[in-house]
Chain A
Amino acid sequence: MKSRARWVAIAGWLLGVAVCCVIISRTVFTADLSAFLPQSPTKEQQVLLDQLRDGMISRLILIGIEGGDASTRAALSKQIASELRADPAFVTVNNGEAVNTERDQAYLFNNRYLLSSAVTPERFTVSGLHDAISDTIDLLASPAGMMIKPLLPRDPTGEIVHLIEQMNGDTRPQMYDGAWTSRDGLRAILLAQTKATGADTNGQQKAMARIQDAFSSATKKIGPSAASAKLIMTGPGVFSVRSRDTIEHEATKFSLIGTAIIISLLLLVYRSITALALGLLPVISGALVGVTAVSLGFGVVHGITLGFGTTLIGEAVDYSIYLFVQSRQANTSEGKASSNWDADFWPTIRLGVLTSIVGFASLLVSSFPGLAQLGLYSIAGLTAAAAVTRFVLPHLLPVNFRIRDVSAIGLRLAVAARHAPKLRWPIIILSLAAFAIVALHRTTLWNSELSSLSPVSQQDQMTDARLRADMGAPDVRYLIVISGESRDAVLQSAEKVGVQLQKLVSQGTLATFESPARYLPSIATQRARQANLPGDDLEQRLVKATQGLPVRASVFSPFLSDIAASKHRSLLQRSDLDNTSLALAVDSLLFQRGTQWTAMLPLTAPSSEKLSQGIAVEPIRAALAASGQTNALFVDLKAESDHLYSGYLKQAIWLSLAGLGGIVILLAFSLRSATNTVRVLLPLVAAVICIVAALVLCGQRLTILHLIGLLLIVAVGSNYALFFSSRNADEIGVSPQTLTSLVFANLTTVAGFGLLGFSHVPVLNAIGTTVGPGAVLALVFSAIFSRQIAPQSMREK
């Protein structure tokens, strides 16, 4: 019977491992933003997601050239730009050079009567013409008059002036030697738009490599003066490439180091390769099952989950340590197989595992996919590791398997443990002080900005902010998004919304707004403008209109022919914009996704200084309502993303509390004693509060990942607390063997998690700095709060 059960267990385990390997080999791993994005977004969130994945902003790469002198930087900028412009991987490369300026000007001027919103029937009546020409002559008197003087015969009503006035452009980099430069003059800057979407990390990586190549060849071409020049890049795509690299690199590095440390520790304790190999089996099984579960549950596995998962080695390895060290103790006393371990220790470990599962289970329902992945990974991984330890590992142990006698260490630990309870009151006072600190900082405790989770380093974020400021920041935050069945339908809606927005611009509520309809009006609007243009009687009208003005009607004969041509010409199509930089504007603001067409109208807040305060939202909503376009949606991207994250955070806090509640209920139910439940919980709660207080004192603001770290402290620490308060401990105190196993388990946990504290990825760093010290505190506090052993039982021992 026994041997059959053994083979069943081993065969079942091997089969499970094989299945996991097959599933994992087919799993998609990702490192993009998907972990942070909701699975069932609202309409506003969907806009945010689309923008992050493949919106125009996601395709921008900001390039800076530093070092060398200003002329060299400008020369490099031009050289790089010309090379990249020839590369199909880039839609546009802008460095201030007048590449399309003439074509842009020609498009605007030649099509002004179809593009100008001032083309109304009144504009070309005798009095309308009189007023418009009079205005234009007034403009001639101003310093700006020099600009329009040559255009007067063709454009006496000033349509081109009207068009340009609407296209406000006060936010634009400075120039040096014909190329953009930063405000402080220390960097040349370029703006490239990639063909690859922001979500296409490989495509972004290739684009970055192309820029790097172009820079290298440009420095070679320009020679020694460019030797000290340095290339910097930033942008959403650059960030995802760097994040992926960082996460991959960090996850690999820390799992390797962590594994090495844990293996060394285990070797030190076990002094046996067999024991080491067997001890790692639950860990490997747990990791495989964890990844498999996430893969099956979510379809993709995020890099962050993997990075986190490697740290779970630290906890999963505990089970085999408990088994080996404690069953040695059982063997010694009983001279029998590990059956006593099953009875004496397994229930405590099982309760510890259950505690962890209950703690993590609450995360499963999180709407933050990253969190739900972590929850599932932890539950599946820990369950598998514990199950393998309990049901498979004992069968694999060789006959007479025993590890080195560690009781000498254990005895010394027992002495320390015996004195530990003396520290009870100091620790209670410390915890109360910690609680007070946390309470004092409660308003600033949490960091509610999504960027706090970004794996992008602080330095990269600062570079990004700097380059954006240099660029005059196309930092699109406010958008009106219009969806519809056809290009023309959304253009028509955009025009109606635009009429309302223009009122806000004149009131000063908005500085300006952008609209694709400005460059490509809808067919209906173009037809209406053509119909508004005067016919053959324009010449007579002009004669009357110029009466009293210092100009003869005959000056305007080019105007007559321009109007006549515009009235009967073919309407503007998207293809008419080809080879102008306006095409880029239209394509990024007007696009098709599936069968749906989308138009976007980015809004600009009144003044750059007030940008941080945001925009007056109510007038914009009112304007949208007034336009009657129900397919138009106002979105504040920053508010949306922060709202999204603070929603996650709030939810995670509640879920963690629910998890804690679940743990309390589980413990109360299993221990059947309020005192014992408190005894288990007290050290854990004290550890959590002290860690939070320490983080606060270090100036850290907690993120959602710190919260996960705290949950992990409870999960890992519950094992310690349970051993210290278990029935065995009540009777005979915690045995030296158990103490040893706890300390080793603790060391492996600290090795696995604590190392992450050195990671540059905030997500990993947060877990490391929380769990590393927290696990140590949980163990020490558990010892301190353990039941004081009666003097006689000690003497008996």
Chain B
Amino acid sequence: MHSRHVKLFHSWLYRWLAASLLSVFASYPVLSMAADWNIDQLMQSLSQTKLGHAKFTEKKYIAMLDRPVESSGELLYSAPDHLEKRTVKPRPETMVVDGNQMTIERGSQRRTVQLQEYPELAGFIDSIRGTLAGDRKALERSFKLNLEGGPEHWTLTLFPLDAKLARNVHLIRITGSHDNIRTMEIIEPDGDHSVMSIERMSAQ
């Protein structure tokens, strides 16, 4: 009986999901790098992390608004597939991804969806998981990768290959230093973009 409303909800859901998930994955540290700095090295280091906990501040730049909207909160990652984004300001909101299931809570509203229902989204997430697991092949199934800079200051840029994904995300830019992810930027096709600054609290 409810599917019609949920459809409406989900058609939107997908758009921001990509963005928020990436921010979670970006939240845990990158281990120290070897001398020969390349994507493979980065992937391998990323795969070492089992637990990550970080603070985030996110600014969204939207053309209609005179100044960016800000949000902040905490990010949690636990290998292999548990992710949480707990927004505290401006409104409390929790998003939890566990395996294939994602739950969002905001106020009294609580929704659970299965990622496999959105094949394009699932592909996107699996790609990120691939990155975190150091699986470059999985990553390159959905994105074209570009790594710039050195271990001191690196920038990894992901360009979506999938047309559906590209409709919502123009590119994703992740910066870091050594084993630390510092920022994550998502640029939408219409030019609106968001920048998330990440401050690591603990990692194992």
Contacts and interface: CB of A to CB of B under 8 A. Distances in A.
B35 interface: no
A400 interface: no
B161 interface: no
Interface in B92-118: 93, 95, 104, 106, 108-112, 114, 116-117
A581 B4 contact: yes
Interface in B57-116: 58, 60, 62, 64-67, 69-71, 85, 87, 90-91, 93, 95, 104, 106, 108-112, 114, 116
Contacts, number: 123
Interface stretch (B13-21, B38-46, B151-159): B13-21
B162 interface: no
Interface string A153-181: 10000000000110111111011110000
B7 A550 contact: no
A143 interface: yes
A565 interface: no
Contacts of A343: none
Interface string A98-126: 10110011001000000000000000000
Contacts of B163: none
A366 B13 CA distance: 58
A535 B162 CA distance: 47
Nearest to B91: A138
B64 A165 contact: no
A149 B62 contact: yes
Given A94-B3, A96-B3, A142-B91, A550 B9 contact: no
Contacts of B9: 147, 164, 169
Interface in B1-50: 1-9, 11-13, 15-17, 19-20
Interface string B170-204: 00000000000000000000001000000000000
A145 B116 contact: no
Nearest to A98: B7
A171 B4 CA distance: 12
Contacts of A474: 1
B11 to A, nearest CB: 8
A140 interface: yes
A143 B92 CA distance: 11
Interface string A537-561: 0000000000000111001000000
B7 A104 contact: yes
A141 B110 CA distance: 18
Interface string A505-548: 11010000010000000000000000000000000000000000
A413 interface: no
Contacts of B168: 146
Contacts of B62: 140, 149
B116 A176 contact: yes
A147 B104 CA distance: 14
B48 to A, nearest CB: 28
Contact of A101 (B8, B15, B106): B8
A169 B113 CA distance: 10
A550 B63 CA distance: 11
A776 interface: no
Interface string A568-594: 000000000000111001000000000
A380 to B, nearest CB: 48
B189 to A, nearest CB: 12
A149 B192 CA distance: 10
Given A98-B7, A105-B8, A165-B109, A144 B2 contact: no
Contact of A148 (B5, B12, B20, B108): B12
Contacts of B117: 174-176
A149 B60 CA distance: 11
A395 B120 CA distance: 88
Interface in B102-138: 104, 106, 108-112, 114, 116-117, 119
A402 B86 CA distance: 96
Contact of B65 (A94, A164, A550): A550
A386 B58 CA distance: 92
A172 B64 contact: no
Nearest to A588: B1
Contacts of B119: 177
A145 B60 contact: yes
Contacts of A170: 2, 110-112
A108 B95 CA distance: 27
Interface residues of B, number: 46
A509 to B, nearest CB: 12
Interface string A697-733: 0000000000000000000000000000000000000
Nearest to B119: A177
B2 A137 contact: no
Given A164-B9, A474-B1, A582-B4, A144 B66 contact: no
B66 A550 contact: yes
A145 B59 CA distance: 12
Given A149-B192, A550-B65, A550-B67, A144 B116 contact: no
A139 interface: yes
A277 to B, nearest CB: 61
B66 to A, nearest CB: 4
A555 B64 CA distance: 7
A10 interface: no
A534 B6 CA distance: 30
Contacts of B15: 146-147
Contacts of A164: 5, 8-9
Contact of A108 (B2, B8, B192): B8
Contacts of A514: 1
Nearest to B7: A101
B2 A171 contact: yes
B32 to A, nearest CB: 32
A143 B2 contact: no
Contacts of A108: 5, 8
Contacts of A695: none
A141 B192 CA distance: 13
Given A94-B3, A169-B2, A143 B93 contact: yes
Nearest to B58: A141
Given A170-B112, A174-B117, A550-B65, A144 B106 contact: yes
A171 B6 CA distance: 10
Nearest to A584: B1
Given A143-B93, A164-B8, A164-B9, A551 B104 contact: no
A143 B20 contact: yes
A145 to B, nearest CB: 7
B93 A142 contact: yes
A169 B11 CA distance: 14
Given A104-B8, A170-B111, A144 B93 contact: yes
A152 interface: yes
Nearest to B186: A146
Contacts of B13: 144, 147
A558 B54 CA distance: 41
A145 B192 CA distance: 12
A474 B64 CA distance: 42
Nearest to A177: B119
A139 B91 contact: yes
Contact of B69 (A141, A143, A552, A555): A141
Contact of A144 (B90, B104, B110): B104
Contact of B5 (A140, A145, A169, A176): A169
Contacts of A149: 62, 64, 192
Given A551-B65, A581-B4, A140 B60 contact: yes
18 contacts: A138-B69, A140-B62, A141-B90, A142-B91, A142-B93, A143-B16, A143-B87, A144-B16, A144-B104, A146-B16, A149-B192, A164-B9, A169-B6, A172-B6, A174-B117, A474-B1, A551-B64, A581-B4
Q: Which 9 A-B pairs have the closest CB atoms?
A: A147-B12, A169-B2, A146-B16, A175-B117, A143-B20, A169-B6, A141-B69, A141-B71, A167-B5
Given A104-B5, A104-B8, A141-B71, 9 more contacts: A100-B4, A101-B11, A108-B5, A141-B91, A145-B69, A169-B2, A169-B9, A508-B108, A551-B66
